[in-house]
Each structure stands twice: as C-alpha cells, then as structure tokens.
C-alpha cells in the first residue's frame, strides 16, 4: 500500500516543502516498487538504449565541477572527425542502436553549418534513427537550424534551478537565465527536451532539489537526466564529496511518479559510484541506458569526473553482456527509436 505521502505526490504532483524534505531525506515505504509499477504500466519491461558519441572535449566554458572545463590543463583535447562519428553510428546501428547522442563541450569549431551537415548525414544514413544533441547553450536560430537538419532531441541539464546555487557552480560569464531560455526555446521549437541536475552537487541543499523538481514540473521535459555529482581532479570543486547513490535512486523514483512517461536514464555516473547502480536505477524507475560508442581516444579523454567507467557494459560493443545483465534484473533491452510514450500521437 503506498503511503499517504506517495498518494498525495501522485495526486497533486507537488508537496508542501516539509513533506518534500522528508521524502527526499528518508524516502517512503514502497517508493521504488511503486515507481517500477508506474514505469511498467507505461513502458512495460522495455529499456531503451542510446549510443553515446562524445565527439569533442574542447569547451569554452569553465564550469567549476566539470573535468573538461576550459581551465583544466591536464586534459588531452580531441575532436572527432566527421568520418569517425559516422563510423561510430554505423557500428552502433549494426549493434541495434536506434538513437545516437552527440555530446560534447561547447566547441566553436562546430558551427551551425558543420553541425547541421553532420546531423543531416547521420539522418540520411539512418533515417529510422533519432539524433539527440547535447552541445550546450546556443541561439534559438541555431536550435532551429539543427532541428531542420534532422535533430530530434536535445539534452541540456538545467544543473540547478536556483540562481544563487547556479552561480556558485559556474563562472560569472555563465548565466542561469540563458540556460533556462535555451530549454524553453528547445521546447517551443518542438524538440524532445531533456533537463536535469547533478545529485549532491557542491553546496546543494534540499531546498535546491525541491526547486529543481518544481522547475521540471513547469518545463515538463520528455527526458530527465539525474546522476550523482562525482569529484573531478583538476577542478576547483575536486575536494567536494561525491553525491549519494541512495538519494539519486530516490530521485529517480520520485521523478517516475511525477512524470510517468518521462525518458529517464540510469546514468553512467550512477554506475561509476556503485557496480549495481545502473540496474538499481532501472529497478527504481529508470528506463534508458546510454552505452558509449566513442572510439578509445575519446572515451579516455572525455573524463567529466574521476574513474568514469569506460569498460564492460558501459561500452556499446559489449551490448550482449549488458542485455544479459538487464534481463537478470527483470527488464529487456529493445531495438527501438525509443521516443517518449505518446510522442508520435502528439503529431510531432
Ligand atoms: N556541453 C554540454 C552541456 O553543457 O550540456 C554537454 C556536456 S556536459 C559535460 C554534460 C553534463 O555532464 C553536464 O550537464 C553535467 O551535469 C555533467 N557533469 C559534468 N561534470 C560532472 C561531474 N563532475 N559529476 C557528474 N556530472 C558531471
């Protein structure tokens, strides 16, 4: 039987601050089981996979937590060539991936013209696949051009909905209002949009997380990326403790109850902090995994944080192993474009 708290959460899709605090700090009886029930009602036992291609680690930004921030002089910088990216997609396609996620730093080399050409080449080669971009803050016109070139989805974590918290995690040149503006632009343009935050980011309070949940409710994204903060050597926040796996799992369950149709990845960061983290994430309500299709040079140097997992089931090429692991946890990896439930019916 769900507790009164969970019944109210599902009915009102919000709670008084006091109740949010209890739920976030302590969880509630059957929280994960109820979330799992909800995800099964919408997605059955399907798990969607996305092939992640980390195509550049060159970034103009200097986010205080991020291993590939501009000022981290210890990073070997790289940029994949178009041919390498297309060959990652081809290999991924053969393995059964039907979504490619191009993620990278904010790298000025990738102008609209070049990125549009890349997206349209991927779409011509694989018309039955979705292209997701995760390349940071750009103008509305740029997002429109990329969409016209074929981009279907866009991941841009809001990082934290609280402006004061945002400013403690980013240099003065970065403006929380612009990040939110980007998300609203993407939404209005008709992308499937992904927002999200790090759990246990330095200086994060429970009030910040409540603000995040309320912001997400307002934005109503199709995808939500939440993973634990993990300290990154060579950054100003390297000495801060890693986020909590338990709190991340609670948040995944809460998000599934708030957004039954949302595409919710069990992130690599979760798998980095706990060997069973990603399977526990699925059991808590997540329904997406994002194995890595990047070539070794990229994987080794796209180190957002310490000990990022780059082997075993994190590797796209080890999909057979991941399938077994997921099956043992009671779910099933499918070959599917993996849109958010109801997306096609919306006429998008
Ligand atoms: N440049 C793009 C952007 O800004 O969205 C995409 C790349 S960025 C590195 C992708 C995400 O990595 C960020 O949104 C952030 O939440 C996450 N990230 C960065 N550093 C991290 C860390 N130390 N621990 C956990 N996640 C981190």
Mean pLDDT by 10 residues, the chain (348 residues): 88 97 96 98 98 98 98 97 97 97 98 98 98 98 98 98 98 98 98 98 98 98 98 97 98 98 97 96 98 93 88 88 97 98 83
At 342 the pLDDT is 92
CB atoms within 10 A of CB 159: 21
CB atoms within 10 A of CB 61: 17
At 273 the pLDDT is 97
- Tell me the best of 65, 273, 302, 303 to mutate to test the pocket of ligand 1, counting ligand atoms within 8 Å of each CB and taking the most: 65
In sequence order, the 6+-apart residues with CB closer than 8 A to the CB of 265 are 50, 223, 225, 281, 286, 288, 289, 290
At 348 the pLDDT is 59
Residue 202 alpha carbon to ligand 1 centre in Å = 14
Q: What is the pTM of this model?
A: 0.97
Phi-psi region of 307 (alpha: psi -120 to 50; beta: other; left: phi over 0): left
Residue 124 alpha carbon to ligand 1 centre in Å = 29
Residue 286 alpha carbon to ligand 1 centre in Å = 19
Q: Is 153 helix (H, G, I), strand (E, B) or coil?
A: strand
- Ligand 1 atom at minimum distance from 159 CA: 16
At 314 the pLDDT is 86
- Tell me the best of 55, 59, 66, 69 to mutate to test the pocket of ligand 1, counting ligand atoms within 8 Å of each CB and taking the most: 66
CB atoms within 10 A of CB 321: 12
> Token pair of 28, please?
């509630």
Q: Of all protein residues, whose CA lies closest to atom 19 belonging to ligand 1? A: 66
**CA nearest to 178, candidates 128, 141, 138:** 138
At 88 the pLDDT is 97
| Separation of alpha carbons 58 and 302, rounded Å | 9
At 344 the pLDDT is 87
DSSP 342: T
- Tell me the best of 198, 233, 241 to mutate to test the pocket of ligand 1, counting ligand atoms within 8 Å of each CB and taking the most: 198
Ligand 1 surroundings by CB, under 6 angstroms = 65-66, 103, 105-106, 134-136, 156-157, 159, 198, 227, 229-230, 232, 269, 304-305
C-beta separation of 165 from 208 below 8 A = yes
Distances (CA, A) of 29 to 2, 35, 238, 300, 330: 7, 12, 35, 41, 21
- Ligand 1 atom at minimum distance from 237 CA: 23
- Ligand 1 atom at minimum distance from 230 CA: 24
Residue 338 alpha carbon to ligand 1 centre in Å = 23
C-beta separation of 66 from 232 below 8 A = yes
At 16 the pLDDT is 97
At 311 the pLDDT is 74
- Ligand 1 atom at minimum distance from 157 CA: 14
Residue 38 alpha carbon to ligand 1 centre in Å = 28
């Amino acid at each position: 039987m769900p507790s009164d708290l969970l019944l109210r959460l599902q009915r009102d899709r919000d709670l008084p601050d006091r109740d949010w605090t209890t739920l976030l700090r302590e969880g509630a009886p059957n929280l994960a089981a109820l979330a799992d029930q909800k995800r099964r009602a919408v997605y059955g036992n399907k798990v969607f996979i996305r092939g992640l291609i980390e195509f550049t680690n060159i970034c103009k930004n200097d986010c205080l937590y991020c291993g590939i921030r501009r000022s981290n002089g210890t990073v070997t910088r790289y940029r994949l060539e178009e041919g390498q990216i297309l060959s990652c997609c081809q290999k991924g396609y053969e393995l059964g991936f039907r979504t490619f996620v191009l993620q990278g730093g904010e790298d000025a080399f990738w102008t609209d013209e070049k990125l549009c050409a890349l997206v349209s080449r991927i779409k011509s080669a694989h018309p039955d696949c979705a292209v997701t971009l995760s390349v940071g803050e750009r103008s509305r016109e740029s997002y429109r051009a990329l969409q016209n070139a074929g981009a279907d989805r866009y991941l841009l974590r809001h990082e934290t909905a609280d402006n004061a918290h945002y400013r403690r995690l980013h240099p003065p040149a970065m403006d929380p209002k612009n990040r939110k503006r980007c998300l609203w632009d993407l939404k209005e343009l008709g992308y499937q949009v992904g927002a999200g935050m790090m759990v246990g980011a330095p200086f994060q309070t429970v009030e910040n997380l409540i603000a995040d949940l309320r912001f997400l409710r307002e934005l109503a994204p199709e995808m939500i990326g939440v993973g634990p903060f993990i300290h990154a050597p060579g950054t100003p926040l390297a000495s801060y403790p890693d986020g909590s796996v338990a709190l991340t799992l609670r948040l995944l369950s809460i998000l599934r109850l708030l957004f039954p149709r949302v595409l919710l990845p069990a992130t690599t960061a979760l798998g980095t902090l706990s060997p069973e983290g990603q399977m526990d994430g699925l059991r808590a309500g997540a329904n997406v995994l994002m194995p890595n299709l990047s070539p070794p040079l990229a994987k080794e140097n796209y180190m957002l944080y310490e000990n990022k997992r780059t082997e075993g089931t994190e590797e796209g090429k080890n999909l057979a192993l991941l399938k077994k692991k997921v099956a043992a946890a009671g779910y099933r990896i499918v070959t599917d474009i993996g849109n958010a439930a109801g997306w096609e019916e919306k006429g998008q």
